Structures are given as C-alpha cells and as structure tokens.
Amino acid sequence: MTYTLNKEEIESISNGSHGDPFSVLGFHNIKQGKSEKLVLRVFRPEAKLVFVKIGNTKPVELQRVSPEGLFEYVFPRRKNPAPYSLSIKPHSGEEFEINDAYAFDRMIADFDLQLWGEGNHKKAYEFMGAHPKEVDGVKGIHFVVSAPSATRVSVVGPFNNWDGRVHRMRKYHDQGLWEIFIPQVTQGDEYKYEIKSPVQDPPLLKADPFAFYAQLRPETASKVFDIEGYNWNDDEWVKSREERQALDKPLSVYEVHAGSWRKKVGGDSEYLSYRELAHELVPYVKDLGYTHIELLPIAEHPYDPSWGYQITGYYAPTSRFGTPHDFMYFVDECHKAGIGVIVDWVPAHFAKDDHGLRRFDGTGLYEHEDARQGEHKDWGTCIFNFGRTEVHNFLISNALYWCDKFHIDGLRVDAVASMLYLDYSREEGEWIPNKYGGRENIEAIDFLRKFNDSVHEHFPGTITFAEESTSWGGVSRPTQTGGLGFDYKWNMGWMNDTLAYIEKDPLYRKYHQGELTFSLIYAFSENFTLPFSHDEVVHMKNSMLAKMPGDDWQKFANLRLLYTYMYAHPGKKLLFMGCEFGQWAEWSESKSLDWHLLNWEQHQGVQKVIRDLNSLAKTEKALYENDFDWRGFEWIDFNDADNSIVSFVRRAKDTGDFLITVLNFTPTVHYEYQVGVPEACEYEIIMNSDSEYYGGSNVGDTVLKAVPGEWQNQKASIKLTVPPLAGVILKPKK
C-alpha cells in the first residue's frame, strides 16, 4: 500500500514526537509523479473510520496509514484547500462530527509577536492562554503558551482523552510561542499542556500560566473561562479613583484573608463564596469606616497554609470562592459601597509544584537555573529571573490584568526586600554578585520600576505598595528621580519599634521612650503606610490583644491606646482582620475569626474605637492631608519619659486646621497636666480611648480652655486630666 509520507514521518506523527505537525496534518499540496495533488491527513487515535465532508459533497472515507490512528486521503481532482468537517466513527460509542484543528492557519498578530520578543508586551493576557474565538463560522478555543526550549507542546484534556498526540501545537521559533485553535473545546473544559523537553524523557504536564480559571485543589488542571462578559456597575468609582486615592486623601485598609474571615455556619471547612463575601464582608467594612479592603493573594494556589503566597495560577482568581466573574462581582460591590480593593501581588517567588511554572519547558524558563539565584530556601520557592523577556511579559501583564479585568485599585507587592538584594537570607558563598560585584539585584530593580511605571501609565489613580523592610532609599519616590516608583512603603520599622515598646510593662516604658519617638526621625523620608498585618499575629507572636501587658483591663486599654496612637501618627493605616475587635487567639487560616467575642462589651469597645478612629481619619483633614510632609506634624513634648507621655500637633494644609494628641502609656492618671497648644481658645476632646463607651474608666475632660503664655514652644497651654493607658485627641473650637 502506498502512502504519501515516509516511514519515519508516519512513525513520528503516530508516536507524538514530530516537532511540526502542522507541516503534515490538515491539507497539503504534494507531487505524485508529474502532477500536483491535494492530500488531507488526520490523526485520531480513537477512530475506527474517518470521513471528510467538504461543502455539500458526499463524505469521503480516509485511508488508515498507521495503527495508532493516522489517516489520509488524496483528492484525485481537487487542487485547493477548502473548509471541511470530519465524521469520526470511534472504536466504541456513537459517531460524531468535528472540525479539524489543523484546518486553521496562524492566528497570533505580528504586533503581538514583536512585543513579546522584545519583552515589552504589557497585555499579553489578551492573546496568551485560552481564548474563545469564532473563525470562519467555527467556534472554539485558541491556545497560546510560551515554551521556547520544548520540542513538542500539546493541549490535552477530556476532549482528547488527555492524549498528547492529538492536538500538537504550532511553534513560533523566534519567540518560543506555541499555538493551536481547537474547535470542539468550550467554556468550562479542563486542560493542561503536555510538554516534551530535550532534557527530560517523560513529557511534562503543566497548567496554563495564563489560565483565567483552575480546578479546585487538590486537582491541578486549568479550565477554559471566557473572562469577558461581566456587566460592571462601577463607572462612578473608576472615574473618581484618581482623586479618591491621591496621597492627600484618607486611606485606611482592612486586611483580609478571604478563606478565614468568616466560615459558613456548620463547620470550619466551608468557605464563603466571593458573592457571599460581597454581601457580608463589604457591609461590615463599610460600617467600620475603612476606605479599602486588602486581600491576601487571591490568585490560584495549591497549599492553604501558604495563605496564597505560593502561587501556581497568576491569572486565575482562586476557585475556592467561585469563578472569575464572581470575583468581579465582589469588587463591583466594594466599589458601589465606596470601598477600594487592594490585592497582594507576589512577583518575588513562585511555588515549586510540578504543575506550575517551575522548569516549565524542562528548563528554567521563569526562574534562574542556578539555585544561588533561583531558590528561596526559607520559603521553599523559586525566584523569578527578572533578566528574561518572558518574565517581564508574564509579570507586567499580570499586574495590568488585575487592574484591567478586575478593576483592582491597588497592588501590594510582597517581599520586595528579597527582590532587591542578591544576598537576601543567604550566607557567604550562597549568592552571586551582580556584574559590578555588588549585592543589588539590578534586573529586579529595573523590573520594579517598569512595573510601577506601567501600572500608573495604563491605570492612572491605581496605587502600589511595597512591603520593604530595609533602609533602601527612594522606594516611594518617582522612577524619574531614581526611585522605585511605588506610591507607598510599609513602615516596618515603625511597626517593630511600636510593638516592642507597647509589649513592655508600663513600669519600664520610661526607659524605652526612644522606641516610641524614633519613627518621626524618618517619618517623611517615604510615603509610609503603618501596618499591623497578618504577619504580626501568627507563628507564636500572639494576637494584638494578647501582646499587651497587664491584666485584662490593662490589655484592652493598651490596645485602644495603641490604635489611637496609630491613627494620630503620620502615615496611612492598615489593620488585619480580627484585630479590630481584640481577638485573643492567633490567626489561623484554617479557622474563622472568633466572632462570638463581640458578645462582650470590652471587645465591642475595641471595635467602637476603630470605627470612630476611621471616622476621624476621613473627616479631619489634619489626620490625612499632610501625612508625608513635616508641615503636617509638630512635637509638643516627647521628653516626658518619666511619665511616658507624649504630645504632638497634626496639621492640615490649612495650618489653622489642627489637632492635638496626648498619649499616656502608663496606668497613672495625671491631673492638671499642662500641655502647650498653638492657640489660646477652647478645645474639645473628640477622642478619648478611656471613655466608658469603649470600655474604659471614663477619666478625662470634655472641653478645655487654653490660656495665653508660651509653654513647650507653643503660644498657649491647657491643663487637662490625662486618663490612664489612653490617648486623647483635641480639636480647637473656633
């Protein structure tokens, strides 16, 4: 029997080793003797018989070429290819009709190829991954993946019995991209990429790095999902975002782990969905007066105790809580309630799971090959190679994707310090210096600047945060002046010093006054956010309430005092869920918050303090307009260490709009305590954390009259009763 292919070609198609199946399968012109013929070749391993139908012509049976399922038919008279369909009669089951994936030509635009090759594609998600398309009246899914070192890449799933020989992709050799359009695949279908690597014999089975949706763990396949089609209702919010999120506007963030904020009634094993969170979490946050919700990483991750920081699906909102459209609904409801949404974003490292990015095409496509650059031993993760164009395309596009498709208002970049330093958490000999012999990661620095510039250019008003724990300069300064370009930097120094101070017995605090006041030496060197985050209430660090010294009364008083100090201090605010009502237990991702504690007045009191502080933080310009300028802060007295009392002024841009804060870090009540004030007028106490309304002892004044006369470098002074373990905020009555 005569075939149009030689033995080697037949074998390579039949066993799946052929590197360019589009050169063999589908329509092709061949020479037979002196004449040109048109041949159609099809590989269907499940088929007993295959028929081809062109237009209204009678179906024609193809000839079997190999036992594995290669078929062909040479048309005796037809010269030109034409649209066709296939009828498959399987070895078992009903006959069915399909369109052939090898009937379709290249679909990636030249412009996309150019940008990808340059490493400058900022919206690669628009063509990478799995996208529903209609081509010549045929509906299907267009798959595109990057695997430059692979010798073969196939799309596998239930639609082809997970057989990597059936839908082998076309390679763009210059860019390392692979593509195929598969007609019979549709919304919800599971799939993976089967990747044959020259450095590894068994093929790899990988989830799609650009997948928009994934199976619920422990399953690991990607799922086809049409990311378009959600009807947004937040135009008003988006249009006003740039103004709402300006540096001189209030910013108070409620940090949330979506899986443990509240569990469904009936057990800790069931999550609230995105839509249920929209109906329960959003009203709660609005009632407390927060301006933003920050979600711990919401991208797909396989391991619950990683809290989302070890990601396998950067483009897929985790399926634990619903679909991507469900997550859009959550964001939409936040915006309709006037609440912004920030998500934690993790470009520093990624999970090592076999189905993820690690050694994606058999080589270090996304990570460094050398473990001295490519592995975080502390976290058991891989480090992105920021020198690769594929990594820039992947991560920059991912940042913009969350802003574009999900209307995210801010990105908080995790573990920035680990990106900036090549010797981060490494001993001598465990790291490789940069080309100048230094410890700075030059490629990562360039990447962070590109990330910030891209986000701010494409989505004006969107804000970025750096969790950066070192003294690196210019983190929140523009890239044009040599900075990294973030809008905000987490003030880890303030957090550590403040907690170290507040955890001490009040008897000894007078010896550590500097820990409390040191932050004002550098408070305006960056645009700081003051964070009491999830990291401070896990791993035997105790909850915020349990950190406080003394008996129960003193613990609650200390916590209310701490929050009053936090809100009066320059900088934007962030508090982790559960801290707002004084949870006793450390946070656990596997359990719901202890909501029953709100049956007790003391816990209600802490929550009331937060609600009222958030209200002040939004209505009093002195508490937010000049957060990053010395003109917004003035010490009155930081020298009274013996009494552990500090006092200061906060000013709005209008210098006549100011507040006075007095903080007493001991349980001693001070009567007739004299404090300097800028003006001789009446002062109203607008916050007293010792009020009985909050569960305090109700010591203190309500209205005070200042008298002229210089005191503590101020023009006037007042004498007030300073309550125990409490903060008071005074406002001039004009």
For residue 711, give the 3-state DSSP assignment: strand
Q: Would you state the pLDDT for residue 266?
A: 66
First to last CA, the chain: 104
Cα–Cα distance, 721 to 704 (Å, whole number): 10
Query: In degrees to the nearest 10, what's the CA dihedral of 247, 249, 254, 259?
Result: -70
The answer to whether the beta carbons of residues 86 and 42 sit under 8 Å apart is yes
Cβ atoms within 10 Å of 270's Cβ, excluding its own: 10
> Mean pLDDT for the chain?
95
Q: Would you state the pLDDT for residue 267?
A: 52
The answer to whether the beta carbons of residues 68 and 74 sit under 8 Å apart is no
Site of tokens 């529903």: 132
Cα–Cα distance, 626 to 543 (Å, whole number): 31
Instruction: Name the CATH superfamily, with its identifier, for domain 7-99.
Output: Immunoglobulins (2.60.40.10)
Catalytic residue check, 326: no
Q: Would you state the pLDDT for residue 33?
A: 76
Residues of the chain with pLDDT under 50: none
Enumerate the domain spans of the chain: 7-99, 110-223, 623-733
Q: Tell me, which fold does domain 110-223 have in CATH?
A: Immunoglobulin-like (2.60.40)
For the chain, percent of residues with pLDDT exceeding 90: 92
For residue 50, give the 3-state DSSP assignment: strand
The arrangement of strands across the sheet holding 714-722 comes to 670-677, 714-722, 707-711
Catalytic residue check, 467: yes
Report the DSSP beta bridge partners of residue 292: 253, 340
Q: Would you state the pLDDT for residue 57?
A: 85
Architecture of domain 623-733: Sandwich (2.60)
Cβ atoms within 10 Å of 404's Cβ, excluding its own: 17
3-state helix, strand, coil in the chain (%, to 5): 30, 30, 45
The answer to whether the beta carbons of residues 70 and 47 sit under 8 Å apart is no
Report the DSSP beta bridge partners of residue 71: 42, 64
Q: Of 72, 467, 497, 627, which one is the catalytic site residue?
A: 467
| Tens-place pLDDT, residues 146-188 | 999 999 999 999 999 999 999 999 999 999 999 999 998 999 9
Residue 675 phi, psi (nearest 5): -130, 130
Identify the CA nearest to 417 among candidates 391, 453, 366, 383.
383
Q: Of 100, 294, 344, 414, which one is the catalytic site residue?
A: 414
Q: Would you state the pLDDT for residue 275?
A: 96
Q: Would you state the pLDDT for residue 446?
A: 97
For residue 183, give the 3-state DSSP assignment: coil
| Tens-place pLDDT, residues 285-301 | 999 999 999 999 999 99
Tell me the Cα Rg of the chain. 31
Do the domains 7-99 and 623-733 sit in the same CATH topology, yes or no? yes
Query: In degrees to the nearest 10, what's the CA dihedral of 45, 46, 47, 48?
Result: 110
According to DSSP H, which parts of 353-503 are helical?
371-374, 389-406, 416-420, 442-458, 492-502
Per-residue HEC secondary structure of 505-522 comes to CHHHHHHHHHHHHCHHHH
